[in-house]
Structure 1
């Protein structure tokens, strides 16, 4: 084994910065900035639903499709993009992605019908494909392992902040300048940040073992390796299922809450967007808080972090069902009390955002961090973020939006069950992954301050 790699992998040697503290925090700030812009461009449309429904007479299924289209293309493109980034340049990949999704977002303002807008939204997702996994890999490489859980929680929490701004800006801009202008205005910051991102330092491409090199030579071979990894490592599979199930709830509520406030409570679109943005902001805070809580819970007993997150999933389901459906149960819940429940549910429902991606990144080979992160990204986007708005849209068309948002939180129960199953094998998989990491030969020029803690196995 390479002696430099051994020194990096040894206990107590995983707390250094890849280049310098300043370079690491610059990379973190830029990566978080683009993550916020990513979700601003994704979520700006939810505040525009009332305008689009009135102007084009769209059904709720069609409106939900405009949100889901982004997540579907993100999911389908995540693995190919991550493969290219792992074997080439992470920084240049991010720059290209940001330019594509920003230009696609701007193009939405020129849409003259549903089909054109759906196509433009799909291009937004194609540009964003792989960004979450590549960005997470960059952060994990720049920083000490002891900081990774909290930093990744912050990184993924920035998606919530971006969603807050997207919902808020969409409503404010549309009320003043029209819904078309909202797409054009929010697309510009991504172009600026993309050019500034060229100043971020990349981590060296890690040489792979022959087996891993074959597994990542193409999208097809990578897909096969991922399937084998999911079968071989049960923890990874159940974590992916849990993350996707909980994001069905998150994406449905984020997408439909402005319309719920508008239709059920008669709030004008601009004020409905502001109120919904506050709930989304509670989710951003919750993702950071619960990431830290889960890390602390797992210090002595790793599986305890999964138990804590499972409990939070159940709590979010109960609070949200009461918030949306309390009146149906005959409970006298005033408007302010209902909004307080929705804000509390928003704070709880993002509990999986930090802990689950961090756990998945820890079980992949250092040379394919981005590809490994794309596994949970695929599950979360295709079966979580894409499914939530559509499921709620179908239920809303069949019954009412109020019924749809009362029923959707039941997916949190599936998330909790998957986490409890994952907990059975979690510690054993961590142990085997740690052993696999120590047996992997890596070049001296590829420092791994954040690469070997505590597990690397799923795609090895």
Structure 2
């Protein structure tokens, strides 16, 4: 249910009408709101996520040029990728917490401006060290975008579609990687690798301007969707809970670990597939980038499809989301481990394609579980914590570990070992499934004293506190 604006009265639901019969005789007028605006928020926020990953992954398309021009090792190339994910991992939590307090919209705008300018600095880097410093700044700018962005999106949509939206939003990383790698490789061949970075930066700055025009804190509050009575997330939205609750819920911890480890191999595919096709299939950089993009596109499509399947399967029982995440990990483990050990050919490509489709399939389910197991007042920070795990355990660790192994074993042998990370992911997700019921009960205790809680405070981004508005507790009687 969308929250009303402060200038309107709140219409009661069916239960509330029984308690307040006068509301039936004299219903308060409501302001008609566009059904398209939430999708506009999703579109422009998703567009900036594309820019985020285009700026991050365009580097993979120009690896051959940097390796030749600067005479660097695979480990050094991997460090240019991993430093971004490392900064995202280290800074996501504090920046997400700051965004929850300072304002999510303003935070997103500043982040996008910073990573776009830093990408321009990559275009003019003269040495490996200069590039490393510019990539460091890209990571600082991108640090909390994923967590704060998805928190903004989930604000204006009902919980029943959160897994689908989370999967689709997180798939934006793969879609952005597809565009960044394929377009970056094409530009590098026909212009230069420096223009590859410049193009990504310009695209990001254009999207920042569009986001600035369309999305405001006031309109997000107007379109915010309240958790419905009976939902597992139906909590007092005004109560602020301690940040420590993000780490004291056992099932949430399992979701963090499982979500991070399941992205280890997906990150390896994003970073190293262009080099794999360049070295083992003798493809030119632009063709290798385009071919790798097709497989990365499968990763993105798989995130979306797996998120939709998870919502369908978990409609009657939300705990089934954990099982679907386990299944996606298991399929990718088997197919990718087998595929990279085969000789070059159709069979190898088919297995890699299947594994790629399911490689990030658990992203939507884990994000939905984190959202359902944390209080709305700290949800952006919770998703930021998930982003920390995704980056430290997956996006940063995967490419770097494979880069080091490639210097010793060869790239294809290193990529064949990467899917073993799914074993840890499966173990964490199965444990999370077992702990899920008790963790839900623990979350529910946070709101038992909500009406008289000293933590209750006015929140300008929620209209529950508007004069004349009833609280969610009153509406749920």
TM range, smaller chain:
0.7 to 0.9
Residue pairs, 1:163-174, within 5 angstroms: 163-174=177-188
1:155 is matched with 169
Distance in 1 between residues matched to 2:429 and 2:325, nearest whole Å: 8
Q: Name which of 373, 376, 393 aligns with 2:383.
A: 373
Kindly report the root-mean-square deviation, in angstroms, between the aligned alpha carbons of the 2 structures: 2.7
Shift of 1:397: 0.6
| Equivalent residues in 2 for 1:401-440, closer than 5 Å | 401-437=411-447, 439-440=449-450
Query: Which residue of 1 is the match for residue 370 of structure 2?
Result: 360
Q: Distance in 2 between matches of 1:147 and 1:436?
A: 24
Q: How do residues 47-446 of structure 1 correspond to structure 2 at under 5 angstroms?
A: 47-198=61-212, 199-202=214-217, 203-204=220-221, 209=239, 212=241, 215=242, 225=244, 229-230=246-247, 232-327=248-343, 335-437=345-447, 439-441=449-451, 446=462
1:185–1:267 distance in 2 versus 1, CA, 3 Å: same
Shift of 1:306: 0.9
Q: Structure 1 residue 303: deviation in Å? A: 2.3
Query: 1:18–1:143: 8 Å Cα contact kept in structure 2?
Result: no
Gaps of 5+ in 2: 5-9, 17-29, 225-235, 465-471, 473-477
In 2: Cα distance, 1:151 partner to 1:311 partner: 20
- Structure 2 equivalent of residue 455 of structure 1: none
Write the distance in 2 (CA, Å) between the matches of 1:304 and 1:17: 38
The alignment covers a number of residue pairs equal to: 423
Measured after TM superposition, the shift of residue 50 of structure 1 is: 0.8
Unaligned runs of 5+ residues in structure 1 are 216-221, 328-333, 453-460
- Distance (whole Å) between structure 2 residues aligned to residue 439 and residue 296 of structure 1: 34
- Asked if structure 2 preserves the Cα contact closer than 8 Å seen for 1:18 and 1:141, the reply is no
TM-score normalised to the size of structure 1?
0.86
- 1:8, CA displacement in angstroms? 10
Distance 1:248 1:405 in 2: 11
Contact 2:402–2:414, Cα closer than 8 Å, also in 1: yes
Is the alpha carbon distance of 1:268 and 1:159 closer, same or farther for their aligned partners in structure 2, counting shifts above 3 Å? same
Shift in Å at residue 33 of structure 1? 0.4
Secondary structure of the residue aligned to 1:112 is: coil
- Judged with a 3 Å threshold, the aligned counterparts in structure 2 of structure 1 residues 403 and 149 are, in CA distance, closer, same or farther, namely same
Q: Alignment partner of 1:188: what SS?
A: helix
CA contact 1:32–1:155 (8 Å) conserved in 2 = yes
Larger Rg: 2
Asked whether the 8 Å contact 1:82–1:371 carries over to 2, the reply is yes
Does the residue aligned with 1:300 lie in a helix, a strand or coil? Answer: coil
User: Using a 3 Å threshold, how does the CA distance of structure 1 residues 8 and 128 change in structure 2: closer, same or farther?
Assistant: farther
- Residues in 1 aligned to 2:374 and 2:15: alpha-carbon distance in whole angstroms: 20
Aligned to 2:228: none
| 1:155-184 residue CA offsets vs partner (Å, 9 max, x unmatched) | 111111101101111111111111111111
Task: Calculate the TM-score normalised by the size of structure 2.
Answer: 0.83
Give the secondary-structure state (helix, strand or coil) at the position aligned to 2:361. Answer: coil
Change (3 A) 1:59 1:117: same
**Cα 1:369/1:273, change in 2 over 3 Å:** same
1:316–1:182 distance in 2 versus 1, CA, 3 Å = same
- Map Cα deviations across residues 401-450 of structure 1 (whole Å, 9 max, x no partner): 010000011101111111111110112212432453565356597258xx
Q: 2:55·2:197 contact (CA, 8 Å) conserved in 1?
A: yes
Distance 1:427 1:10, change over 3 A: farther
User: Structure 1 263/365 Cα, relative in aligned 2: closer, same or farther at 3 Å?
Assistant: same
> What do the CA deviations read for 1:296-334 (whole angstroms, capped 9, x no partner)?
22223332221121122011011011111123xxxxxx5
Call closer, same or farther: CA 1:96–1:61 in 2, change over 3 Å. Answer: same
CA distance in 1: counterparts of 2:246 and 2:280, whole angstroms: 46
- SS in structure 2 of the partner of residue 72 of structure 1: helix
Q: Distance in 2 between matches of 1:132 and 1:348?
A: 20
Give the whole-Å Cα distance in 2 for the aligned partners of 1:18 and 1:294. 32
- Cα distance, 1:147 vs. partner? 2.4
Describe the SS at the equivalent of 1:305: helix
Partner SS for 2:450? coil
CA distance in 2, matches of 1:17, 1:297: 35
1:190-216 superposed Cα distances (whole Å, 9 cap, x missing partner): 111112212213245998657x4xx5x
